[in-house]
Chain A
């Protein structure tokens, strides 16, 4: 809650002339009225707490578990059941929060930075430069994402940071398109033209005048990028492109697939998948609520 409520305040400090009369207090109030948004943020916070408390509430899954409990369904002792080596799925899923959130965070930061850069270059410059970067966005929006990530991941050494990098370098087009639309809209606004006339450099106009005003949609988009990063990580790991020793949700699912007990031990894949679904839905609800709050064009 704290980070979200501070965000609009930060924007105001950056010199934005507020169209929202009472700033971030109003944003918090608006957000708290949004039931779905509150559900989303509660879900995310709960996951974060579980992830932080992982060493307390779960046991780090080793290379083998208990030999007396192999392929056991959910029980009081093993809440989410066990795998073919007797390791608890609960432990794997809870420690998976850390890895999956780590991948999502890094991938989102990379994708957003690249997206902002490409989007600004394509939107701000008319002529050849703008044309080239706009085509680049269109090209990467069209190409099938997962096969492209698979190709890159297959030549790199597996690991969480590698996976995050692979997702990040290809997940930027959506952000770039949003940034581009904002920059095109702001390019012809009076104060930007005035800055031009006074002789302010392009870099300064972009960083001081355009970027702060384009920030709300970029910020809203973060949660959607993070959601697709979570799903992409799971997909890559499922296809065998993750590092089998890192417990991310994708790794658990990939173990489930390679154990050959995918169909008989339903709990094996179900629990990490449910965590993925809860995370992605929470992120989407959060993003939609932030859109309602921050986007002046979505008035009620």
Chain B
């Protein structure tokens, strides 16, 4: 168990380090801005005295190391500054948007994992045949497509032509009653979730297939076959269970891509999550919100990554934390 405790401590330390690097990065990136944040308020009437006062209010008249320390201190307290365009604390602006992104990315992650396991297994059962080839080719091609365009096509087909589902936003204000509201939210979720899932399937299907193919050469598979087990049992019970462990790591590593994809998907569907918020903030040069949004997405990814690793560290007795074999 000592090994496990050490693994958990090291993995957690790594997660904290990642968040720290992300925060430091945002601090210095925002220092690259020409001028200083007072110019963002773009008030031509601003007198030098007022400007000085503003600078002092923001703590910008102090040397960089002190500003940096203050910034980190405020960050730890959850203070992300004030949104320029909405004149509201960044933390509350983000708190409004984050649940939608978590809903979209979370449901899509779940769906991606389930579908890619299913398709991965199909390619193994039909290995070398046309089904195998079609699944591999189509999932890889889907991954090479530009997400906003896939979103457009899905909107056009399911929303415009078939008129099955709403093509924008996350809710319909006309929905009343809790059950109707839930159905409404789900209906708005389907299309963006579909887009995000389709474009993320490829690497997972391929990875599962490759590791299954490798495992199928292992001795214990030969033993299982020699014991007279059916091919179905060999694949599902023996090979698949062993392939799931590395698969979990890859799913964890895909989280970042998932979030990047969600940003683009939300923009096209006008889905009110962090991605949409980022798009609007880019248009309005709302740097505090951009900074907060990036940090929040980074923390989300790091947290779920840590969770995946810890769960699978507990599940797999062979795992030992270390960089080299």
Chain A residues packing against B (C-beta within 8 Å):
134-136, 138-148, 150-152, 154-156, 184, 227, 231, 234-235, 238-241, 253, 257, 262-263, 266, 269-270, 273, 276-277, 280-281, 284
**A270 and B152 alpha carbons, distance in the complex (Å):** 9
Partner of A154, one of B14, B25, B156, B285: B285
With CB as the reference atom, state the residue of chain B lying closest to A253: B148
Interface presence of B282 (CB below 8 A) = yes
Q: Which positions 270-325 of chain B face chain A at CB distance < 8 Å?
A: 278-279, 282-283, 285, 287, 290-291, 293-294, 297-298, 301-302, 305, 323-324
Contact in complex: B141, A277 (CB < 8 Å): yes
Contact in complex: A139, B17 (CB < 8 Å): yes
Chain A residues positioned under 8 Å from B287 (CB to CB): 154-155
Chain B residues positioned under 8 Å from A239 (CB to CB): 263-264, 267, 278-279, 282
A173 to chain B, nearest CB (A): 10
Which of B68-76, B83-91, B229-237, B253-261 has 4 or more CB atoms under 8 Å from chain A? Answer: B253-261
Interface presence of B62 (CB below 8 A) = no
**A147 and B260 alpha carbons, distance in the complex (Å):** 7
Which of B29-37, B46-54, B113-121, B213-221 has 4 or more CB atoms under 8 Å from chain A? Answer: B29-37
Give the residue among A227, A238, A257 with the most B Cβ atoms within 10 A.
Answer: A238
A158 to chain B, nearest CB (A): 11
Chain B residues positioned under 8 Å from A146 (CB to CB): 259-260, 263-264
Contact in complex: B260, A235 (CB < 8 Å): yes
Chain B residues positioned under 8 Å from A143 (CB to CB): 18, 21-22, 256, 298, 301-302
Contact in complex: A150, B282 (CB < 8 Å): yes
Report the 7 A-B pairs with minimum CB-CB distance, sorted nearest first: A146-B260, A273-B149, A280-B144, A144-B259, A144-B256, A147-B294, A273-B146
**A262 and B149 alpha carbons, distance in the complex (Å):** 9
With CB as the reference atom, state the residue of chain A lying closest to B253: A141
Q: A155-B32, A241-B282, A273-B149 are in contact. Are A145 and B256 (CB under 8 A)?
A: yes
Contact in complex: A147, B144 (CB < 8 Å): no
Q: List 23 A-B contacts (CB under 8 A).
A: A139-B17, A142-B256, A142-B301, A143-B21, A143-B22, A144-B301, A147-B293, A148-B25, A150-B294, A152-B32, A154-B287, A227-B144, A238-B148, A239-B264, A239-B282, A257-B267, A266-B152, A269-B152, A273-B145, A276-B146, A277-B144, A277-B145, A284-B140
Interface presence of B155 (CB below 8 A) = yes
Contact in complex: B156, A266 (CB < 8 Å): yes
Chain B residues positioned under 8 Å from A227 (CB to CB): 144
Q: A139-B21, A273-B146 are in contact. Are A145 and B285 (CB under 8 A)?
A: no
Interface presence of B126 (CB below 8 A) = no
Contact in complex: B14, A151 (CB < 8 Å): no
**A59 and B10 alpha carbons, distance in the complex (Å):** 58
Q: A156-B32, A235-B264, A280-B144 are in contact. Are A151 and B156 (CB under 8 A)?
A: no
A286 to chain B, nearest CB (A): 13
**A234 and B140 alpha carbons, distance in the complex (Å):** 19
Partner of B298, one of A147, A150, A281: A147
